Amino acid sequence: MKKFILIPDSFKGTMSSESICTTMEKVIKKHLPNSKIISIPVADGGEGTVDAMLKISGGTKKFITVKGPYMEDISSFYGLLPDKTAIIEMAAAAGLPLVKNNLHAERTSTYGVGELIKDAIDNGATKILLGLGGSATNDGGCGMAAALGIKFTNKNGEAFIPIGKTLQDIYHIDIASFKEKYSDVQFSAMCDITNPLCGINGAAYVFAPQKGADKKTVELLDKGLHHLAQIIKNDLNKDVENIPGAGAAGGMGAGVVGFFNGQLQSGINSILNLVKFDQLIKDADYVFTGEGKIDNQSIQGKVISGIADYTKKYNIPLIAIVGCIDDDIDKLYTAGVTAVFSINTKPLPFEEAIKYSEKNLAITMDNLIRILK
């Protein structure tokens, strides 16, 4: 009996990771009905992360009312896994779909994200895994922190909940109450970008324009984040300004590290750790992965590189099924990829090719499994 592990990334704009797993599994079962198949949909911290993690590990999806980006009441959710890990998409309380066309990054808050975290801990969570993707905010995670008891005061000693445009008003941060209540909780965040908190590559300059910020507002937000970093350094003894990923989700990456002493990790590493991939892979015969386009960048912190580290260690074939193959992929083979196959059967414009993606994936898998039987 052969054992297959299916762990593809999504084909952006075409097929989700879960739908790719489903198609691959159907083809394998057609030819090898007695084979053991483990499907692991990949999540990157954005929309669908909670559902993907629950599918992988089991657990329950909790629905609660929290504050939305403009402090309005909204219905939101999180996942609680059997090992007491809570999976939280920050976008479920502070994401772009919640503001629709009302884009004002300087006014939005992550307070509801903190409420999700608090409810998860109240329901027994001892580990928090935050997905940082799709944010409508630029508050450095201050709203989230405030919901968990971290106190922000201005120069007059007045407490307030900072938003993007008021970050520069922060004079002091007090985390005593937070530490007293939550010192035993482990925090980490899924983060697949490496942007620092501030500067031309930071949260405001790179991402705030997508959230409605004009040039003047971008400058205001960037100054606010820089100021926040200085206060965190002075009051909390954490230097967060240039941490890779600090700029994720409007600076929430910096907040996770600075306020919660948390860790930032790639989405794929979060998943591999969660499913104990090191154990799963030991007796596997084949591992199938994939992404929309494969090139030499695919070995730099992306899904395929994370998986290849394990397949190379245990000398297990890693087969990548992709949409498009770049000319130069030699480094991928050195990194641990055994072979790469494109699903496209004939040259077509992208807009046309995506119509046949599922069918072409099934055809490609069918031919491959015929060889591997």
Q: Write out pLDDT tens, residues 15-54.
A: 888 899 999 999 999 999 999 999 998 877 877 889 889 9
In this prediction, residue 11 carries a pLDDT of 83
Q: 296 pLDDT band (50/70/90 cuts)?
A: low
- Write the DSSP string, 304-350: HHHHHHHHHHHT--EEEEEEEE-S--HHHHHHT--EEEE---S---H
What pLDDT was estimated at residue 299? 64
pLDDT > 80? residue 327: no
pLDDT digits 0-9 by tens, 80-136: 999 999 999 999 999 999 998 999 999 999 999 999 999 999 999 999 999 998 899
* Whole-number Å distance between alpha carbons of 139 and 195: 16
Whether residue 298 has pLDDT greater than 80: no
Distance of CA 251 to the CA centre of its chain: 14
d(CA 11, CA 292): 4
Q: Same domain, yes or no, for 20 and 83?
A: no
Closest among 284, 280, 206, 214 to 249, alpha carbons compared: 206
**Cα angle, residue 227 at apex, residues 224 and 233 outer, rounded to 5°:** 140
DSSP state of 164: G
State mean pLDDT over 65-87. Answer: 98
How much of the chain exceeds pLDDT 90, in percent? 76
Please indicate, yes or no, whether residues 122 and 219 belong to a single structural domain of this protein: yes
Q: What is the CA radius of gyration of the chain?
A: 22
129, 189 Cβ separation under 8 angstroms: yes
Do residue 344 and residue 282 come from a single domain? yes
What is the predicted pLDDT for the residue at 47?
79
Q: What is the pLDDT of residues 207-244, one digit of tens each?
A: 999 999 999 999 999 999 999 999 999 999 999 999 99
Which of 200, 235, 267 marks a domain boundary?
Answer: 267
Specify whether the CB–CB gap between 16 and 10 falls below 8 A. yes
CA 165 to chain centre: 26
Please check whether residues 181 and 300 belong to one and the same domain.
Answer: no
216 and 337 share a domain?
no
Residues 6+ apart with CB under 8 A from 360: 343, 344, 345
Same domain, 152 and 204: yes
CA 269, CA 193: separation in Å to the nearest integer? 13
The verdict on 232 and 343 lying in the same domain is no
Residue 140 pLDDT level (bands cut at 50, 70, 90): very high
Assess contact for 226 and 234: CB atoms under 8 A. Answer: no
- The pLDDT of residue 291 is above 90: no
Q: Examine the domain organization and report whether 196 and 240 are in the same domain.
A: yes
Same domain, 58 and 181: yes
Check residue 297 and give its pLDDT: 65
Residue 163 lies in a domain: yes
Looking at residue 180, its pLDDT comes to 97
Residue 335 or 227, more confident: 227
The answer to whether residue 287 scores a pLDDT higher than 80 is yes
Average pLDDT (250-255) is 98
- Asked whether residue 142 is assigned to any structural domain, the reply reads yes
pLDDT for 268: 85
Determine contact, residues 262/240, Cβ cutoff 8 Å.
no
Say whether 192 sits in a helix, a strand or coil: coil
Check pLDDT > 80 for residue 4: yes
Name the band, by pLDDT with cuts 50, 70 and 90, for residue 282: very high
The parent domain of residue 337 ranges over 3-31+278-310+323-372
Of 116-130, 162-176, 265-279, 304-318, minimum mean pLDDT range: 265-279
The pLDDT value recorded for residue 222 is 98
* Residue 70, domain member (yes or no): yes
User: What average pLDDT does the structure give for the chain?
Assistant: 93
The residue that leads in pLDDT, 146 or 51, is 146
